Structure 1
């Protein structure tokens, strides 16, 4: 049995029926204005506004005349010979040439044609009309857009108690994932219910992390293995080193023992370029640099104490907060310390004392950021206190370039992997600064207010297009840079090389001058001590007491001479006055 429901409705409930027809416009309703309501409204200046929603389009047709082409050829033979001369016969042509050359008009014709041909030949040698002057020039589109950066996504800490994003690392295979380490860096201020997890985010999904990493202690730093994108190494707050394989889950594959690990938080871990791809080394504020093999984390393979006296004393060691390693220089690495000193080290040195090559002193506070320029490895960037500095390995006394002091503390910095003259810094006021030292050195090229919280970490993608920054309240912000900041500019490498060379020479000259001034000051101090007994100073002059006595004597001599001259002048004036009076008396007597 089929059930059918029928719904009925009266025609009058549908409303007024619409009747469409072609007819002229007619006035249906006219509402006159009400003057009493005018004070309740604001008079608006009339303006024209288009209300047509469709786009105006037009169609044109043009008929052109048909042009037919035809292929044809031409047969060129040697001409200019008289009819009685066959150009194929050598004897006839030679006989005709000799006859023409004996003619008197032949020489005149040659002289006239010679000047014309000479002009054409010189013009042809001077200007080559077929030369392409700009064939080697690359077609470069002039990009006049101002530098800019836009926020793509924000990855927030999913826990209730927000923690600082202390470390970031991009996935080595295309940068599709971002690993973030979360840790509360304030000493003994971590709440009890704070989560220990760190996360790996898919950059396309900011809602929840793709994977969680569960260490025994909060991670301060995290780094992807460039040879194996499934493995990561992290440094914990309690000094341990942990190793993950994302194919095995969230738990660490292996963790270093507390007895053989660092005594302070591990602020930086870096993978080494080795054949096995399992070697890494770490740095901590306990003053040690430890080398590890992640296949066996029971104890470090090598240990270095950052004692500036090169005695290996851990009590006097400099606390490490940043680390730098360049794969093109496998024996060298650099350490940034809490004391504002950058230590250049050589791993392959024979003794621990020789491993500390030199010290670069230039910051008032900890060196939070340290990185070599990827295009010019001899020059490296440091960030500490309120300024960023660019150094050269050849100059140990001071940096070759530096920014002015900022209003907020700088926490991290890195070079652009694409543009050699661009580097990035983050500050505690939530601002990301982009510096282009070829464009200007006093101020950043671009400043972006990322958030209201302090920014602690910074990392760029390998293609230089995306930059990730981590804040104090657990937010990792992903920004996309404009093409001008993420593409290599024309002659940028050569211009920056010339700038670095010029600034290095300038610092060398200033360093030599200061060294010379110190030597002169030292020699003067030694000479002054030798001349004290003889009563003379280092310039060969008299002692201060002798100078005072001689000055007093000269003063009295000058004073007596001036008084004597004045007395003689008064006597002379008196004599002249007496003579004048005698003359006047004689004149009166004669009258």
Structure 2
């Protein structure tokens, strides 16, 4: 019924495709064309140059040839003539000792003494307080200043303060101290602990002794004596840190104008100073010289200054209101001839030797850090006296001022240099190496002629702190000439001490 049938293919050309192929356009990618280029390395221009040591060719034949043909005329003859003379002088120079120990210093010496800081506490200045004492910390970066009065002869209850400045701090401000410790009465003396930079010992006008810890900003009082029978009954003129009964701790040694030297141990748990040993200078127990046999006065020797020796830990020196300088011993067992006043310890008489007296109060003493027997004393006579512990008379006396001299200190780096503070507002620096009676440098404080009360050398840097009666502290930068030790300086100091003794 159904069968396959093959039919012829019938085709028809598309008019649409043909027309579309005629009208279509070729489009490219619509991105920005990339531009490429090739550039060589931009290295700087290099060149090669030879050294300028080669002599010209014609000159080398005459000067650089060591043969006989290269010698200038008569040169060999001249060398033969002076050969014997030159060798003789060279031999003499080898045997000469003219320059033994001489060190050449090729660097330029700064001979100026400049004031780098002027420290002020506005509140103390507004109340007319004076700087009575200054002390450097063991690190050499912190300076502590005590404010009080040296011109008040009556009992004073005026409040005072202790201020500290850290000179290395980035926020250092000379007119604003880092720490202010309020004190109920004038502070007469200060001393930083030799190994713990936060501890300061101080003596008050009331006779009390205190220890402050500057790391405790809320309550810096670490220990104090309070008012008791053991306490000084007169103003404290000097405080020092000394080896205590316990080897790991230091005690506080204080001296007062009432003639007593007291040694205190620090009891941190009780916040108090405990009296361990006491000494009393009684006039009839002092080994007086013949010139002092007619000296009149009270029973007690009024102490004005005290100094410790770095060489002999058993000895200390005291200066008195009557001009006496006494050598004393910590190990003395002689009982002091004073009636008891309720002290917790028995007072001992420490005086062992008396030096030639001065004409007025001895304001300051200082032992040499470079010689075990030498010390300096100054006072109202305007002189600086160089003493030896081995003889009563001074080895040398230098005129410092026409006024009083209130403080003297040996340089910690120059064995022959010391500084003295005067009542005319000047600081005189003497150099005994110059063999001159005139000061090597004079520092004018520019304080209107008011007195300089205290000064201290910095052990770490070349700085000198000077406390003034106008309530300011000047920090002076000393020159290398005044701080750099010479090769024979210690030997010269030894010679100075031995020549007069012979």
Question: Equivalences for 1:84-483 in 2 at 5 Å?
Answer: 139-141=103-105, 145=109, 147-159=111-123, 160-173=126-139, 175-187=140-152, 195-203=159-167, 204-249=172-217, 250-259=219-228, 260-274=230-244, 275-295=247-267, 297=272, 299-310=274-285, 315-352=298-335, 355-385=350-380, 386-396=382-392, 398-404=393-399, 406-450=401-445, 451-452=447-448, 453-463=450-460, 465-483=462-480
The CA deviation at 1:207 is 2.3
The CA deviation at 1:378 is 0.3
Tell me, in whole angstroms, the C-alpha distance in 1 between the residues paired with 2:458 and 2:436: 24
The CA deviation at 1:490 is 2.3
3-state SS of paired residue (1:334) = strand
The CA deviation at 1:257 is 2.3
Cα deviation, 1:140-171, whole Å, max 9, x if unaligned, reads 31677574311011111321212111111001
Cα deviation, 1:171-224, whole Å, max 9, x if unaligned, reads 101x111001100122357998x5411101123431200111222322111111
Tell me, in whole angstroms, the C-alpha distance in 2 between the residues paired with 1:405 and 1:424: 10
2:78 aligns with none
Contact persistence 2:159–2:185 (CA under 8 A): no
1:54 aligns with none
Q: 1:373 to 1:283 in 2, by over 3 A?
A: same
Higher helix content, 1 or 2:
1
Contact persistence 1:182–1:197 (CA under 8 A): yes
Tell me, in whole angstroms, the C-alpha distance in 2 between the residues paired with 1:278 and 1:476: 28
3-state SS of paired residue (1:197) = strand
2:65 aligns with none
Cα deviation, 1:507-530, whole Å, max 9, x if unaligned, reads xxxxxxxxxxxxxxxxxxxxxxxx
Tell me, in whole angstroms, the C-alpha distance in 2 between the residues paired with 1:64 and 1:132: 43
Normalising by the residue count of structure 1, what TM-score does the alignment of the two structures yield? 0.60
The CA deviation at 1:136 is 9.0
Tell me, in whole angstroms, the C-alpha distance in 2 between the residues paired with 1:191 and 1:374: 36
Tell me, in whole angstroms, the C-alpha distance in 2 between the residues paired with 1:389 and 1:143: 35
Does residue 64 in structure 1 map to residue 51 in structure 2?
yes
Tell me, in whole angstroms, the C-alpha distance in 1 between the residues paired with 2:156 and 2:412: 38
Question: Over aligned residue pairs, what C-alpha RMSD do you find?
Answer: 3.1
The CA deviation at 1:404 is 2.6
Higher strand content, 1 or 2:
2
Tell me, in whole angstroms, the C-alpha distance in 1 between the residues paired with 2:153 and 2:492: 49
Tell me, in whole angstroms, the C-alpha distance in 1 between the residues paired with 2:298 and 2:276: 22
Contact persistence 2:367–2:374 (CA under 8 A): yes
3-state SS of paired residue (2:490) = helix
**Structure 2: which 5+ runs fail to align?**
1-47, 55-86, 288-296, 337-348
If you compute each CA radius of gyration, which structure gives the higher value, 1 or 2? 1
Q: 1:136 to 1:349 in 2, by over 3 A?
A: same
Tell me, in whole angstroms, the C-alpha distance in 1 between the residues paired with 2:424 and 2:212: 34
Tell me, in whole angstroms, the C-alpha distance in 2 between the residues paired with 1:132 and 1:273: 51
The CA deviation at 1:277 is 2.7
Q: 1:218 to 1:490 in 2, by over 3 A?
A: same
Tell me, in whole angstroms, the C-alpha distance in 2 between the residues paired with 1:283 and 1:191: 19
Contact persistence 2:212–2:223 (CA under 8 A): yes
Tell me, in whole angstroms, the C-alpha distance in 2 between the residues paired with 1:416 and 1:309: 36
Cα deviation, 1:281-327, whole Å, max 9, x if unaligned, reads 10010010001012264541111111132289x95111111111124
3-state SS of paired residue (2:496) = helix
The CA deviation at 1:417 is 0.5
Question: Equivalences for 1:512-523 in 2 at 5 Å?
Answer: none
Tell me, in whole angstroms, the C-alpha distance in 1 between the residues paired with 2:383 and 2:190: 26
The CA deviation at 1:418 is 0.5
Q: 1:429 to 1:142 in 2, by over 3 A?
A: farther
Q: 1:503 to 1:144 in 2, by over 3 A?
A: farther
Tell me, in whole angstroms, the C-alpha distance in 2 between the residues paired with 1:369 and 1:226: 20
Normalising by the residue count of structure 2, what TM-score does the alignment of the two structures yield? 0.70
The CA deviation at 1:243 is 1.0
Tell me, in whole angstroms, the C-alpha distance in 1 between the residues paired with 2:105 and 2:334: 55
Q: 1:164 to 1:139 in 2, by over 3 A?
A: same
Tell me, in whole angstroms, the C-alpha distance in 2 between the residues paired with 1:392 and 1:277: 31
Q: 1:469 to 1:278 in 2, by over 3 A?
A: same
For these two proteins, the number of residue pairs brought into alignment is 385
The CA deviation at 1:66 is 9.1
Contact persistence 2:147–2:188 (CA under 8 A): yes
Tell me, in whole angstroms, the C-alpha distance in 2 between the residues paired with 1:447 and 1:236: 32
